[in-house]
Chains A and B, each alone.
Chain A
């Protein structure tokens, strides 16, 4: 089954995935419509910045076993085995934040949501865009990502990609400079890192 696979080294931190995610979980399904809705749709993917300012798309891993599921007091968090997705029942959720203590990646947020009864705050996290997938669309974050940091693909195909990359790198005749899979992105990250080091060394 295809999954959203994260390639953090390709993230440029543009946050388009966040806007697309919020829009995908809105009534109007458009960014322009979403900003007029109440409760205002919020993203379930969170682009954080790493140690030298590089982007990092932080998304629910749908762990198995899922720590949030074991910690959930009312039993609102469950797994949809067919889609390999961990979901939250908005009616059972009591907004106790027990899952905030359990999630080692910090991807759960607490606010009102279209899926919950009006006025009720609930725990909200990535649902692998099941609504879109049922319509034959791919998850919104992967659809909108232009740098290839979020790709919807078969895990096995992605692994093969990585293996091929390493094979190319160690094979005879490999030319230095050909190594980088995405030279522009590698350069961007190198630049961010250099900038940070310069700032740190400045008296």
Chain B
């Protein structure tokens, strides 16, 4: 059996390991654009803020491919995939035949339209190289502009602030992380950032960058100008599907996959940020481009590729964000689309906590927790499992909530009832 995996992100890495575990003799080939040993993408902002070095990033050793017996072509990009002839072509004109293929090509930063994008010190923040370049050009930069208040924009702003750079963040909605949190938690995050020196501008878009070789200022559509020695563009990501022939493989926003993570073409699978599967909280097709989902999908796709039938129930969006003195944990459907959902919230100013639970038909489907997040995993697994809550929703908001509250009446009690006549 010839297995080929496209991409050495965490989905690809877990797929490689899973395939090798189940098929010790199959030939496995990897094609990946990045030349670094597999590393942790979500941690690159910690290198930017100076709390980690690049040596802390790898999640597998430099001999990873060799030890697994994987033939690795790194630094090569797939430019064409012929699903009928079952061959892919790389930008070095290499043709690779496959029996089973995993598309784990990840996602690319969304580009923006503006003049002057060719200027120096305008960055995306997606991979290790981007951060290396950013750090190399930090010298003398006093002001930075961050476009977008999503996770990347937020992490870039937070990291640059920790480096002592004055940061202005341009966001469309009234608060950062609007995809992850609700308005109340968003304003708590905003307050925390502003308290620590962030400048936030809401609404306006950049139309042009100005500078002499390096960016010096950004012009907004409302006519105002922001001076900046560095720009970070964090306008979200798009699944990397440009090399796919859409007449052969069904692609929506991401590559469409079934419950075995197989695409519309038998033998071709997709996992991670590029795959469009099903969101268990939204109950619809969705791309959840987050690390833990890539891990899950990489493993399930690997098992199915190696011949072990495993179905994937669906992914759940979730995130945990730590900023200065604030811990925020979110998951599922945080901002319900209509009023058929039951929403419970509780604020506790003394403990500095905030809780929001979103229910649909008695089942928990979304949650926001600010501070004291230790029980978040209990609730996220309730969302993931789709179970009805055995207790009142209000009881979950109690600070003393813990997993024991979810267990049915315990045996000791039943015994007592029988004996207690």
Contact = CB atoms under 8 A, between A and B. Distances in A.
Given A50-B405, A97-B320, A100-B373, A176 B329 contact: no
Interface string B345-380: 000000000000000000000000000011111101
B137 to A, nearest CB: 25
Interface string B308-323: 0000000000111010
Given A8-B404, A74-B59, A54 B421 contact: no
Nearest to A95: B322
Contacts of B59: 74-75
B378 A10 contact: no
B377 A58 contact: no
A6 B415 CA distance: 17
Nearest to A193: B413
B403 interface: yes
29 contacts: A10-B412, A46-B402, A48-B403, A48-B405, A49-B404, A50-B404, A50-B407, A51-B407, A51-B409, A52-B413, A54-B413, A94-B51, A96-B42, A96-B322, A97-B322, A98-B291, A100-B374, A100-B376, A103-B378, A104-B381, A105-B403, A106-B402, A179-B415, A180-B418, A181-B415, A185-B412, A186-B415, A190-B417, A193-B416
**Ordered nearest first, which 4 A-B pairs have the shortest CB separation?**
A9-B412, A48-B402, A56-B404, A190-B416
B180 to A, nearest CB: 12
A106 B404 contact: no
A58 B43 contact: no
A108 interface: yes
A33 interface: no
Contact of B402 (A56, A187, A189): A56
A183 interface: yes
Contacts of B373: 97, 100
A48 B400 contact: yes
Contacts of B291: 71, 73, 98
B377 A100 contact: yes
Given A50-B407, A177-B419, A104 B52 contact: no
A101 B405 contact: no
A181 B420 CA distance: 13
Interface in A80-109: 92, 94-106, 108-109
A73 B322 CA distance: 14
A14 interface: no
A70 interface: yes
A198 to B, nearest CB: 15
B221 interface: no
A202 B129 CA distance: 66
A54 B405 CA distance: 10
Contact of B412 (A54, A75, A95, A100): A54
B46 interface: yes
Interface residues of A, number: 48
Contacts of A49: 400, 402, 404
Given A8-B412, A186-B415, 17 more contacts: A8-B407, A8-B410, A51-B409, A52-B409, A56-B407, A74-B40, A92-B56, A97-B327, A100-B329, A100-B373, A101-B319, A103-B378, A106-B378, A180-B416, A186-B412, A186-B420, A190-B420
Interface string B333-352: 00000000000000000000
B79 interface: no
Interface string B31-42: 000000000101
A167 to B, nearest CB: 15
B279 to A, nearest CB: 16
Contact of B380 (A46, A101, A179, A189): A101
B43 A74 contact: yes
A186 B416 contact: yes
Contact of B56 (A10, A74, A181, A189): A74
A190 B410 CA distance: 10
Contact of A189 (B40, B331, B405, B413): B413
Contacts of B403: 48, 56, 58, 104-106
Contacts of B405: 48, 50-51
B44 to A, nearest CB: 11
Interface in A165-199: 176-177, 179-183, 185-187, 189-190, 193
A70 B295 contact: yes
